[in-house]
Amino acid sequence: MLAMTRSKIKKIGILTSGGDAPGMNAAIRAVVRTALFYRKQIAGIHRGYDGLIHDEIKPMTSRSVSNIIHRGGTILKTARCLEFKTPRGMQKAYRNLTKHGIDGLIVVGGDGTFKGAEEFSHRFGVPVMGVPGTIDNDLYGTDYTIGFDTATNTTIEAIDKIRDTAASHNRLFFIEVMGRDSGCIALWSGIAGGSEAILLPERKTNVNDLIARLKEGAKNKKSSSIVIIAEGEKSGGALKIAEKVKSKLKLYDTKVTILGHLQRGGSPSCFDRVLASRLGSQAVESLLQGESRKMVGLLDNKIKLTDLRMATSNQFELDNNLIRLAGILAQ
226 and 111 fall within a common domain: no
Residues assigned a catalytic role: 136
> How is 183-221 classified by DSSP, letter by letter?
-HHHHHHHHHTT-SEEE-TTS---HHHHHHHHHHHHHTT
Cross-strand partners of 15: 45, 107
CATH value at residue 113: 3.40.50.450
- Report the distance separating Cα 307 and Cα 144, nearest Å: 17
CATH value at residue 209: 3.40.50.460
User: Does the residue 208 lie in any domain?
Assistant: yes
205 and 260 fall within a common domain: yes
User: Does the residue 43 lie in any domain?
Assistant: yes
250 and 303 fall within a common domain: no
Q: How many domains does the chain have?
A: 2
Is residue 26 predicted with pLDDT exceeding 70?
A: yes
- Asked which of 265, 288, 303 is the last residue of a domain, the reply is 265
Q: What is the span of the domain harbouring residue 109? A: 6-147+268-313
The tally of CA atoms less than 13 A away on the side-chain side of residue 180 is 5
29 and 136 fall within a common domain: yes
User: Does the residue 116 lie in any domain?
Assistant: yes
What values do phi and psi take at 256, rounded to 5? -125, 135
77 and 201 fall within a common domain: no
Q: Tell me the pTM.
A: 0.93
User: Does the residue 328 lie in any domain?
Assistant: no
46 and 177 fall within a common domain: no
Is residue 6 predicted with pLDDT exceeding 60?
A: no
Is residue 7 predicted with pLDDT exceeding 70?
A: no
In the chain, beta strands by DSSP E: 11-16, 41-45, 57-59, 104-109, 128-132, 171-177, 197-199, 225-230, 253-258, 294-299, 302-307
228 and 165 fall within a common domain: yes
Q: What is the pLDDT of residue 221?
A: 64
Is residue 89 predicted with pLDDT exceeding 90?
A: yes
- Asked which of 238, 265, 292 is the last residue of a domain, the reply is 265
What average pLDDT does range 134-152 have in this prediction? 96
40 and 185 fall within a common domain: no
- Asked which of 265, 291, 323 is the last residue of a domain, the reply is 265
296 and 161 fall within a common domain: no
Is residue 331 predicted with pLDDT exceeding 80?
A: no
What average pLDDT does range 188-207 have in this prediction? 92
User: Does the residue 330 lie in any domain?
Assistant: no
309 and 190 fall within a common domain: no
- The per-residue pLDDT for range 269-284, each reduced to its tens digit, is 999 999 999 999 999 9
What average pLDDT does range 228-252 have in this prediction? 87
Per-residue confidence band for 5, with pLDDT thresholds at 50, 70 and 90 = very low
Cβ-contact 42, 171 below 8 angstroms? no
142 and 12 fall within a common domain: yes
Taking only Cα atoms into account, the Rg of the chain, rounded to an integer number of angstroms, comes to: 22
Per-residue confidence band for 41, with pLDDT thresholds at 50, 70 and 90 = very high
Per-residue confidence band for 223, with pLDDT thresholds at 50, 70 and 90 = low
Residues in the chain: 331
Q: What is the pLDDT of residue 3?
A: 42
- Report the distance separating Cα 330 and Cα 151, nearest Å: 22
Cβ-contact 144, 275 below 8 angstroms? yes
Q: How does DSSP classify residue 146? A: B
What average pLDDT does range 56-61 have in this prediction? 98
55 and 136 fall within a common domain: yes
User: Does the residue 122 lie in any domain?
Assistant: yes
| Range list of H helices, 54-176 | 87-99, 111-124, 148-169
Is residue 244 predicted with pLDDT exceeding 50?
A: yes
